[in-house]
């Protein structure tokens, strides 16, 4: 992002406060001016010197410091974004009730920009009716309160309430700087099934047929949908190095056959299916039970082995047929993905339109692929085609930004379907 933004990172007093250091570093390295405003309790976990070194700004906690600069008003007024990570149950309660008893809560009252809370607390505290009401109040007022991750908490406890990974928090912060309206909490009660990543079709115990899909775009769709209130299940293929998104149930698979089985298991409960996975079109007909040796090794012929291929099942088309046959009574929208290149027969959109007609899905996300495009990169662009003939360009930007546009289209489709 070319324009330098002013970001306030608020830090509340919880054990996850140390992760705020990574959030500050990520946003600073992206070229933004970042100022840390911790609570007094937060400084018992991470010292002021650490935050000052990372942000290159002085750290203050109370409204009586630098009174001549009126910091408790000015910081919030000048901010382009406020991120609170971690946001403890106490901090959420004070923010919801409009308290202004320290510099952070006063800043929250004067901020005109998007405010992003990343909660971190024990499961019982997150699920307590008081916290539930406080979160609902903040969301109703326009704040973004992320769903926490599920995982290891303080001590031996495990459950919902873990702080989302710092990289994920920074990703959402960047998204809000690109689109301040990107995360409305508008999909509550909607069950979304997303597939992501490439499949691997085994040749022998060592080798496989695969593709270049990283899974980043599918993960971004799952991540955005979950933070907009949807109940999201993500079926993940080959997605090496990608952390499970916060608030998402993740099912890991390997082959196209395993993906087909996982979709068949979870689709009957879903309202929306987003087929972002790059599913192999072919698999080896016969899988060797031992490693295929090189031809020059003793006892082996000089000829290279011939691998016979069999077409895999079309999971997207199968889902469309199953819905038409009444087997998916809850399914209201099916979204396909198409990675296309032009050829002698037509350009990318020509092939995409043909695929939309052939597959019969409601929406089709189209990417033009090639070296440095779509696969294995953090940015994307393309088109969104609808069964009614509507075609919308998806402008170049981060995959999270593109995911927000895709989820917008899904929400619009669902609303029009219900009218």
238 is catalytic: no
**Does 216 show up as a binding residue in the annotation?**
no
**Does 172 show up as a binding residue in the annotation?**
no
What is the sign, positive or negative, of the torsion defined by CA atoms of 264, 240, 223, 89? Answer: positive
**Does 314 show up as a binding residue in the annotation?**
no
**Does 291 show up as a binding residue in the annotation?**
yes
**Does 208 show up as a binding residue in the annotation?**
no
Catalytic residue among 134, 211, 238, 380: 211
The residues annotated with a catalytic role in the active site are 211
| Binding positions for CTP | 281, 291, 337, 355, 359
């Amino acid at each position: 992002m070319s324009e330098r933004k002013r970001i306030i990172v608020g830090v509340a007093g919880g054990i996850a406060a140390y992760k705020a250091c990574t959030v500050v570093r990520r946003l600073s390295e992206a070229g933004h001016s970042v100022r840390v405003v911790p609570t007094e309790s937060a400084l018992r976990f991470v010292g002021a010197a650490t935050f000052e070194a990372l942000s290159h700004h002085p750290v203050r906690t109370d409204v009586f410091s630098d009174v001549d600069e009126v910091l408790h008003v000015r910081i919030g007024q000048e901010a382009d974004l406020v991120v609170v990570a971690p946001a403890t149950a106490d901090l959420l309660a004070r923010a919801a009730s409009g308290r202004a008893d320290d510099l952070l809560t006063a800043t929250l009252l004067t901020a005109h920009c998007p405010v992003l809370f990343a909660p971190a607390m024990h499961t019982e505290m997150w699920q307590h009716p008081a916290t539930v009401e406080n979160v609902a109040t903040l969301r109703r007022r326009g704040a973004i309160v992320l769903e926490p991750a599920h995982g290891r908490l303080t001590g031996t406890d495990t459950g919902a309430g873990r702080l989302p990974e710092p990289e994920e928090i920074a990703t959402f912060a960047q998204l809000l700087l690109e689109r301040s309206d990107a995360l409305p909490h508008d999909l509550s009660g909607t069950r979304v099934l997303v597939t992501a990543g490439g499949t691997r079709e085994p040749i022998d115990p060592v080798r496989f047929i695969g593709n270049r899909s990283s899974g980043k775009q599918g993960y971004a769709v799952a991540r955005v949908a979950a933070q907009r209130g949807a109940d999201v299940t993500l079926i993940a293929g080959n997605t090496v190095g990608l952390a499970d998104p916060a608030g998402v149930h993740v099912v890991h698979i390997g082959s196209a056959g395993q993906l087909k089985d996982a979709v068949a298991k979870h689709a009957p409960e879903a309202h929306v299916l987003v087929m972002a996975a790059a599913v192999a079109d072919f698999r080896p007909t016969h899988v060797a039970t031992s490693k295929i040796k090189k031809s020059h090794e003793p006892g082996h012929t000089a000829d290279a082995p011939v691998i016979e291929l069999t077409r895999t099942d079309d999971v997207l088309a199968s889902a469309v047929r199953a819905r038409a046959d009444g087997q998916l009574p809850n399914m209201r929208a099916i979204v396909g993905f198409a990675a296309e290149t032009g050829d002698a027969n037509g350009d990318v959109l020509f092939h995409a339109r043909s695929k939309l007609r052939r597959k019969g899905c409601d929406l089709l996300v189209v990417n033009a692929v090639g070296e440095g495009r779509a696969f294995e990169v953090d940015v994307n662009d393309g088109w969104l085609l609808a069964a009614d003939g509507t075609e919308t360009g998806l402008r170049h930007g981060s995959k999270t930004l593109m995911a927000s546009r895709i989820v917008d289209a899904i929400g619009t489709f669902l609303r029009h379907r219900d009218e």
